Structure 1
Amino acid sequence: MSYRKRVDAQQAHILSLRLALGLMTLLSLALAYGWWKAPQELTIHVPPDLRSGSTRKWWEVPPESVYSFALYIFQQMNRWPKDGEVDYQDNIHRLDAYLTPACKAYLQKDYELRRNAGELRKRERGVFEIPGRGIGDAGEQRTLVHSINDWTVNLDMAADEHYGGERVKRALARYPLHIVRADVDPEQNPFGLQWDCYGGNPQRIEIELDTAVTGGRP
């Protein structure tokens, strides 16, 4: 009788070990699945000035990062080193991942209107930030936060156009760029942001650029 009890106890112990092993297996599979589904890369936006330290939630995009993105994309789109008729179209295709579909359609239409009006052929163009009117300058807020997903960036830019080696146009204007969050293709767009064209009409700026460069000094 005592032998029978020992056999029953041993079988019960073996059964409990099997149940524990099964639970551990299920738990391991669940952890492995969670690990496999976890993102392999995570974009963290860090503000450019870290002298005072920075604490950020990973999903928040600092206004400084939004401004830097807007300035970079706008300059790239408006850089025509040889021929605007070719370069402008190439820029639209090259920067496709950084544009919303609506903005891409708007820029394509703008390209066609300018080309048909003869404003692009053999034109060279470049834009640059007006000195003293960048982020943190003049005490102005350049990035307006509408939500955690969209912003308006006011860029004060000078645009120079040349034809045949001669400057034929210089325009100073404030461009209100609408920027939106778009974590859709980290491989093609590591910023996780897209340019949604303009939040309003550009406004002409009336200043002497040489004065802006020197800060009013003779």
Structure 2
Amino acid sequence: MSRFRHAQSARDAHILTLRVIVAVLLLLCGGMWWGWKSAPQDLTIHNPPDLRSGSTRKWWEVPPSSVYSFAFYIWQQLNRWPANGEVDYKRNLHSYSAYLTPQCQVSLENDYTARQRRQELKGRVRGMYEIPGRGLRKDAVTILDRDHWVVTLDLAIDEHYAGTPVRDVYVRYPLRVVRADVDPERNPWGLQLDCLADTPQRLSVPRGDTGDDPTGNADSTEE
């Protein structure tokens, strides 16, 4: 009888131990689930274009290649008017507002108003693209400090009105870029465009020139 009671007590103790283990596992699973749920879904990692030789950098450093790519992409999209500049330009200013500093937003809105007053937008189609061979280069990004850069873009501009070409020029844009980790949801780059750092210059580039010489003949312009 005593052996039976000891066996029953041992069984009950074992069941209690298993229940405790199950409870602990449930708590661990709950903790892991919460950690997984609260982990960020997106991480911004700036990698240099060529990783064959590896890369080591401080976490807060943004490589020039990322700054250049950001400036070119945002500026190109702002100046992409696929159907009607009067509508497209205004829509772009709203769509890409998270990528612009407040001062730049006001400056571009004033530019929109001035162009609209001069009737330069209605029915106008515009596109920008890099001049072949004049993309990212050593002097394309000037590092002012950890959080500020000046990016030099050599771009070709095509504009049409009612299907007729009205402008085909090459222009150099010096653009300011600043660090702004203020809204990762709308701006995963953590950078903002601060508009022009200097007056744009019109370039004279021979047709078929794809060299790396960034100068050509430069004249002031108000493009």
Contact 2:134 2:211 in 1 (8 A): no
Which stretches in structure 2 are left out of the alignment for 5+ residues? 1-34, 213-223
Following the alignment from structure 1 to structure 2, what is the Cα–Cα distance between the partners of residues 72 and 213?
Answer: 21
3-state SS of 1:212 partner? coil
Residue segments in structure 1 that go unaligned for 5+ positions in a row: 1-34
In the comparison of the two structures, how many residue pairs are matched? 175
8 Å Cα contact 2:128/2:158 also seen in 1: yes
Matches within 5 A, 1:20-31: none
Select the residue among 180, 185, 194 that pairs with 1:187. 185
Instruction: Within 5 Å, give how 1:1-218 maps onto structure 2.
Output: 40=40, 42-136=43-137, 140-208=138-206, 210-213=207-210
- The answer (yes or no) to whether the contact 1:150–1:180 under 8 Å persists in 2 is yes
Q: Residue 70 of structure 2 aligns to which amino acid in structure 1?
A: F
Give identity over the alignment, percent: 55
Could you say what secondary structure the match of 2:87 adopts? Answer: helix
Q: SS of the counterpart of 1:93?
A: helix
Q: Does the 8 Å contact 1:44/1:59 carry over to 2? A: no
Measured after TM superposition, the shift of residue 171 of structure 1 is 1.9
**Under a length normalisation based on structure 1, what TM-score does the superposition of the two structures give?**
0.76
Taking only aligned residues, the RMSD between alpha carbons, in angstroms, comes to 1.8
TM-score scaled by length of structure 2? 0.75
Cα gap change, 1:201 to 1:39, in 2 (>3 Å)? farther
Which stretches of structure 1, 4 residues or longer, exceed 6 Å deviation after superposition?
A: none
Q: Deviation string for 1:68-121 (max 9, x for gaps)? A: 000100110000000000000000000000000000000000000001101001
Task: Single out whichever of 39-48 and 49-58 deviates more from structure 2.
Answer: 39-48
